[in-house]
């Protein structure tokens, strides 16, 4: 059984070929939109329908196998659920890089909300800018 199959079953979902393909594509690309998932999956499973992609993304986000990454001015992207990290979003090419959180990050978030009676479940940090590759193209 593949890792993807295990991941799905652990979360109460049947391990269909379609679902595993979505996870594989998301894993390989890191962050990917619905349309791009479709374009990739259809290469290995030509009969898949866009509706199936949508249904499964919704389901896997509910089960927290996938995570939605909302991006200002763009369609959201999806990534495999993984440990806390921040996103570097390039406004030129649209690519998203992950950057692990450092130890002080937690302290800062705690400090920011310690006086609040707000119970935090999930954090989401996007830093928008220009990636190394695009900087060299512009300059």
Partner DNA sequence: GTATTTGCAAATGATTTGCAGTGCT
Partner DNA sequence: AGCACTGCAAATCATTTGCAAATAC
What residue ranges bind a second copy (CB under 8 A)?
A: 61, 67-73, 76, 86, 88, 90-91, 97, 99, 101-102, 104-105, 107-109, 111-113, 116-132, 135
- Considering the rule CB under 7 A, would residue 128 count as an interface residue with DNA? no
Q: Which region, judged by CB under 7 A, interacts with DNA, from 40-48, 78-86, 90-98, 118-126? A: 40-48
Bridge partner residues of 90 (DSSP): 129
User: Rounded to the nearest whole angstrom, what is the least distance from the CB of residue 81 to a second copy in the complex?
Assistant: 13
Phi, psi for residue 99 in degrees, rounded to 5: -140, 125
Torsion angles phi and psi, residue 121, rounded to 5: -105, -35
Quote the CA–CA distance of 19 and 46 in Å, as a whole number: 14
Alpha carbon 112 to chain centroid distance? 25
Interface with DNA, residue 47, by CB under 7 A: yes
* β-bridge mates for residue 50, sequence order: none
Interface contacts to DNA, rule CB under 7 A = 5, 9, 13-19, 34-35, 45, 47-52, 54-56, 58, 75
């Amino acid at each position: 059984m593949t890792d993807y199959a295990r991941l799905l079953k652990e979360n109460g979902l049947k391990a269909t070929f379609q679902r595993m393909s979505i996870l594989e594509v998301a894993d390989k690309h890191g962050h990917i939109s619905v349309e791009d998932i479709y374009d990739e999956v259809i290469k290995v499973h030509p009969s898949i329908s866009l509706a199936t992609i949508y249904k499964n993304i919704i389901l896997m986000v509910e089960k927290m196998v996938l995570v939605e990454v909302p991006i200002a001015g763009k369609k959201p992207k999806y990534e495999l659920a993984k440990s806390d990290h921040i996103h570097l979003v390039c406004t030129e090419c649209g690519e998203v890089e992950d950057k692990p959180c450092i130890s002080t990050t937690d302290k800062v978030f705690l400090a920011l909300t310690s006086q609040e009676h707000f119970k935090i479940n999930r954090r989401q940090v996007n830093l928008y800018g220009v990636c190394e590759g695009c900087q060299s193209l512009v300059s």
